[in-house]
Amino acid sequence: MSIKTNRPDWGKLFASILTEPGRLGEHYRLFHRYSLGNQLLAVVQMEERGIPIGPIASFNGWKKLGRRVKKGEKALALWMPVVKTERIEKEDGTEEEVTKRFFIMKNHWFALAQTEPIDPENPGTIPTPETPEWDRATALANLGITEVPFEHPDGNCQGFARPNKMQIAINPLAAFPWKTAFHEMAHCLLHGKQAEAAFVDGGVIDTSIEEAEAESVAYLCCATLGLPGLEEARGYVQSWLGSSAKAEEFVKKSAARVFAAADKILKAGQSYCKEAAHEDDPEREEVRHGV
């Protein structure tokens, strides 16, 4: 089935991103936000022990996410703030309450690789829907983008991109892995150093516009393929743009860029493109349909 034949009205879809209600998904707040120092400390320990770098959580934290710590796994150590209040006697004989804050190291945390699903049939991630019209591996190959392991201790981070290296990584616990993949691919296409020169006024794009553009591309791709996460995508874009003035600027300057990137991603992964050259080959048809 051709995507082009059944493509919805992207102009209306783009406008709906800013006008229809959206919401920020709870998946951005599932994990505790660890300090940068604790994140680095966790990464060092994972590297020293040969544990794949990934999201971290406490024993109970993983349990709430439908996962359990594997037998024999040793916890990672992080710095924990401790607040202690005591009363001291002053020179005039009165007492004063003093609060002291200090840090102690505790071994309470585990990386994703140290856990396993409590229920093997429900591994704690949202099932990835099938998309017969679009193939992710094919799209990545055609766009020259490489998918690398998700090496980040923050589980709230759904994925990341390195546009100048044309690399993306998707959190294995991402709530909407397809939407996240489209988002990170859009960053590679739109926000490398060379891509920035294509911005309408030639200026440097700030972070909020970059995120809004990438998520808008993801929105169009998901809407075209009938994938979930549209309400969350709208909430994400609206959160980054904030003001109506910035939203108006976004519509004027970014619409063409968003449409071009979404079109490129969808065409790069269309399964029918791979098979078009073999339409008259009966043997090819037999392989395709599993005969």
Distance CA 230, CA 119 (A): 28
Q: Do the domain assignments include residue 230? A: yes
Three-point CA angle 219, 220, 225, nearest 5°:
100
Pairing of the two strands 167-170 and 146-147: parallel
109 and 24 part of one domain: no
CA dist 236 → 103, 232, 241, 279 (Å): 35, 6, 9, 41
* Same-domain check for residues 81 and 187: no
Best CA proximity match to 58, nearest among 32, 81, 26, 82 = 32
The whole-number pLDDT of residue 51 equals: 92
Q: Measured between alpha carbons, how far is 181 from 163 in angstroms, rounded to an integer?
A: 13
Structural domains of the chain, count: 2
**Considering the domain boundaries, does residue 105 fall inside one?**
yes
How confident is the prediction for the chain on average, in pLDDT?
79
Task: Yes or no: say if 223 and 230 are a contact pair by the CB < 8 Å rule.
Answer: yes
Residues sharing a CB contact under 8 Å with residue 257, sequence separation 6 or more, in sequence order: 190, 198, 199, 213
pLDDT recorded at residue 160: 93
Residue with tokens 């071009």: 260
Report whether 110 contacts 131 (CB < 8 A). no
Is residue 260 located within the same domain as residue 229?
Answer: yes
Same domain, residue pair 24 and 45: no
* Dist CA 186 CA 104 (whole Å): 42
Domain identity same for 69 and 208? no
169 assigned to some structural domain: yes
Strands (E) across the chain are located at 56-58, 67-69, 76-89, 95-111, 115-117, 146-147, 159-162, 167-170
Return the bridge partners of 262, or none.
none
Residue 123 lies in a domain: no
pLDDT, tens digit, 9 for 90 and up, residues 52-100:
988 999 999 898 888 999 999 999 999 888 888 888 877 777 878 888 8
Does 238 fall in a domain? yes
* One domain for residues 189 and 108: no
Q: What does the alpha-carbon distance between residue 54 and residue 213 come to, in Å, rounded to a whole number?
A: 27
Higher pLDDT, 89 or 106: 106
What sign results for the dihedral spanned by CA atoms 62, 152, 28, 181? Answer: negative
Same domain for 77 and 23: no
Q: Examine the domain organization and report whether 62 and 192 are in the same domain.
A: no
How many residues are there in the chain? 291
Q: Are residues 166 and 64 in the same domain?
A: no
145 and 18, same structural domain? yes
51 and 180 together in one domain: no
> Measured between alpha carbons, how far is 226 from 110 in angstroms, rounded to an integer?
36
Two structure tokens written together for 154: 């923050």
Q: Give pLDDT tens digits for 205-247.
A: 678 899 999 999 999 988 888 888 888 899 889 988 987 788 8
Q: Which amino acid is at 290?
A: G
Whether residues 24 and 153 fall in one domain: yes
Reduced to 3 states (helix: H, G, I; strand: E, B; else coil), residue 269 is: helix
Residues spanned by the domain of 107: 36-86+95-117
Would residue 147 count as lying in a domain? yes
Confidence of residue 284 (pLDDT cuts 50, 70, 90): very low
The verdict on residue 45 lying in a domain is: yes
> What confidence category does residue 26 fall into, taking pLDDT thresholds of 50, 70 and 90?
low
What pLDDT was estimated at residue 13? Answer: 82
Q: For 125-170, write each residue's pLDDT tens digit.
A: 544 555 667 888 999 999 999 999 999 888 889 999 999 999 999 9
Helix, strand or coil, per DSSP, at residue 200: coil
- Please report, rounded to a whole number, the percentage of residues in the chain having pLDDT higher than 90: 30
pTM given for the model: 0.70
Backbone angles phi, psi at 117, to 5 degrees: -65, 135
Query: Is residue 125 a part of any domain in this protein?
Result: no
